[in-house]
Structure 1
Amino acid sequence: MQIGANSLDLLPETLVSLGCSFPCVITDKTMLELGYVAKVEALLNQQNINFGLFTDTMPEPNDTSILAAVEMVKTKQYDCLIALGGGSAIDSAKAIALLASHGGKMSDYKVPYQVTEISLPVVAIPTTAGTGSEATKVTVISDSATDEKMLCMGSGLIPAAAIIDYQFTLSLPSRIAADTGIDALTHAIEAYVSRKANLFSDQQAIAAMKLIAPNLIKVCQQPDNLKAKEAMMLGATLAGIAFSNASVGLVHGMSRPIGVHFHVPHGLSNAMLLPTITEYSLPGAPRKYAECAMHMGLVTVIDDQTLAHQTLINELKHINQTLNVPTLAEFGVVKTEYEGLLTNMAEQALASGSPGNNPKIPVLNEIIELYKKVWL
């Protein structure tokens, strides 16, 4: 990992350290418009590094959106990928590297399959402080035929290198800063309370909460606050490391089907769910949720767990209100369509495996009731 302002300048030497000399940049049209692709191109040109460029990754990528890039990478025989963008671009690059190296289709690799195959190296350059995908063994790619968000996991999906330069987040619109920031906070909390949490993941999650909680609202309301931007960027990466080693829980399990069926951006659907699902889950890990309140700087001691819990829930609601997170109804989800898909979404949530890591493990009907609760 190269971390800090201007760490992008270290891209050429990072490629050398990986033994790579013919990269393909995987990105999207927004990165092109913002001039970020030009920055990467200039660095590579200065060092006379030949490269390819694919700019057609899509938000919430599906298995067909990556096929053209897979073919391009195989045909041109690039020796690594540079993933420039948010979680969607990085997730796409991981999937492209996997399919270009080993063939098959994405559904072959979804959980419970463990991706241990070593693929083309990916150098991840995140431009949002959110998904943490630059540091995780996870990619999420939708099945275009069934609308299922396929969760693929395994050590073979961890990027070979990451460049964590917070200056890429300075031009983020406040809506994207809010959604990706709440996504990062969700990662930290869910990793900390996960049934798969361990001493290592706990340390990353604690550090992430301490960085994210005091700065989440600041980065949205004060886009020029460089210290807050830097803290959020590092916090998001640490949260990624935390959940990559401890998994996420019910919030993510329920969030993915909402994203697929109603095209709600991933971070935003997490935000819609976080207060309600946290409140539901409290009895499963009362002490750890109280500790979340403490690590987020909301309480100084946790002698009174009930007070710590209430303070935590109030803060999660306050974040949503302050950052104008809409309910599903306000987002424009049609109630009859939503209700018609409740059972299907609950089944998809359970099938992802994430609810099984939750401190309080739900059954199908409980998930349906929780979906009903968050609509308004």
Structure 2
Amino acid sequence: MSTIVLPRTLEIGHDSIKRLPNVLQGLKSKKPLIVTDNMMVKLGYLNNLQTILSQAGIESDVYSDTVPEPTAASIQAGIEKVRSADFDSVIALGGGSPIDSAKAIAVIGKLGGVINEYRFPRQVEEQGLPIIAIPTTAGTGSECTRVTIITDEKTDEKLMCMGTGFMPTAAIVDYNLTLSVPARTTADTGIDAMTHAIEAYVSRKANLYSDSQALCAMKLIGPNLRKVYHDGNDKVAREAMMLGSTLAGIAFSNASVALVHGMSRPIGAFFHVPHGLSNAMLLPAVTRFSLESAKQRYAVCARTLTFAQETDSDDVACEKLINTLVELNRELSVPTPAEFGIDKQQFFSVVETMAKQAEASGSPNNNPRIPTIEEMVAIYTQLWN
């Protein structure tokens, strides 16, 4: 038995951002707070959004101080802003970090408390302010997940918070908003989306519904990830990646992520590596580690992503999957931890702590092969060799 949770409304496609006033009217929202970051301000996305709202007679206010890999401190001013006036909804504009920030702000702003009180294993079913998520990257799928990740900067630990309270009420998925995303971010977010789809499909919590979404996502992402990296103006590929990212988000939100994400979060927390990038660093090694425990499923992933032929045996398809993931990292210029600038001695001084944090997140228990702490330490070590 599976419980499926989705946004109430999904507006998808070219210029769907213009539907925002209709979405707010449907929610009877007259005073939204826009949560975004300074890059969205600089690029003119915020101005465009506020113009659409003011033309429909809707006043809005802004909190634009969210940061990449949001922290308990970075969301606090947003929480205080929500509480200072009678806002009746939160619009999240940006990549995964502004959307994750907005989720926490909408929930804590209404329900009170601090982020540590909302961490997994608590399931947050109480409803905060309605969230309208507008992603500007094809990657995190946060617009349709019941998860937010906020770092506790006192302990350098990424807190995973889950429950229907964090599911956006509506999402606007307009691929036009991704056309100006630079190649590096395009690669990192694209690999993140691909990882979501693969992990949802091989997860021990996979179900018939999540499988259908994960497979559709892989079909869209596999042939288009390289295209959008090399040509950001390829609108057909951008649209495929945007929808693929949303479907992958729906898949993992309803099946859970696994070992890649469990091990990726501590790298991000300790060394400020963007989430998609730390996923990319880990994906080949974790896939190799997990392969034998779900060979048939990984082979299906390889074929669906178009990394293997339909006629390839499971063994051949799995070999091609590993080889392509390694090649893809090379082609998309994914750095090793050393190339990213992480200090080797510092990395090895926290590998055991990272492995313990990964285990505590619960994600490794969804993996086809459940690792020990020692095995996770060995995978982290491989990243250097």
* TM-score category, normalised to shorter length: over 0.9
Task: Map residues 137-152 of structure 1 onto 2, 5 A cutoff.
Answer: 137-152=146-161
DSSP 3-state at the match of 1:201: helix
Report if aligned partners of 1:250, 1:357 keep a CA contact under 8 Å in 2: yes
Task: Map residues 1-376 of structure 1 onto 2, 5 A cutoff.
Answer: 1-301=10-310, 304-376=313-385
Deviation at 1:302, TM superposition (A): 6.0
Normalised by the size of structure 2, how large is the TM-score? 0.97
- 1:152 maps to a residue whose letter is C
Report if aligned partners of 2:258, 2:364 keep a CA contact under 8 Å in 1: yes
Distance 1:238 1:56 in 2: 29
- 1:17-46 Cα deviation digits (max 9, x unpaired): 111110000000000010100110101110
Report if aligned partners of 2:30, 2:88 keep a CA contact under 8 Å in 1: yes
Cα distance, 1:303–1:229 mapped onto 2, change above 3 Å: closer
Report if aligned partners of 1:179, 1:267 keep a CA contact under 8 Å in 2: yes
Deviation at 1:207, TM superposition (A): 0.2
DSSP 3-state at the match of 1:247: coil
Report if aligned partners of 1:23, 1:78 keep a CA contact under 8 Å in 2: yes
Distance 2:293 2:148 in 1: 28
Report if aligned partners of 1:290, 1:302 keep a CA contact under 8 Å in 2: no
> Runs of 4 or more off by more than 2 Å in structure 1?
298-303
- 1:239 maps to a residue whose letter is A
Gaps of 5+ in 1: none
Normalised by the size of structure 1, how large is the TM-score? 0.99
DSSP 3-state at the match of 1:125: strand
- 2:203 maps to a residue whose letter is S
Report if aligned partners of 2:145, 2:166 keep a CA contact under 8 Å in 1: yes
Report if aligned partners of 1:291, 1:302 keep a CA contact under 8 Å in 2: no
DSSP 3-state at the match of 1:64: helix
Distance 1:299 1:182 in 2: 18
Deviation at 1:301, TM superposition (A): 3.0
Distance 2:313 2:175 in 1: 37
Corresponding residue number in structure 1 for 2:3: none
Gaps of 5+ in 2: 1-9
- 1:277 maps to a residue whose letter is V
Distance 1:369 1:314 in 2: 20
Distance 1:46 1:113 in 2: 41
Deviation at 1:375, TM superposition (A): 2.3
Deviation at 1:303, TM superposition (A): 5.8
Distance 2:21 2:206 in 1: 36
Deviation at 1:374, TM superposition (A): 1.1
Q: How many residues align?
A: 376
- 1:326-370 Cα deviation digits (max 9, x unpaired): 101111111111110011000000000000000000000000001
- 1:148-182 Cα deviation digits (max 9, x unpaired): 10000111110000000000000001000000000
- 2:255 maps to a residue whose letter is A
Give percent identity, aligned residues only: 55
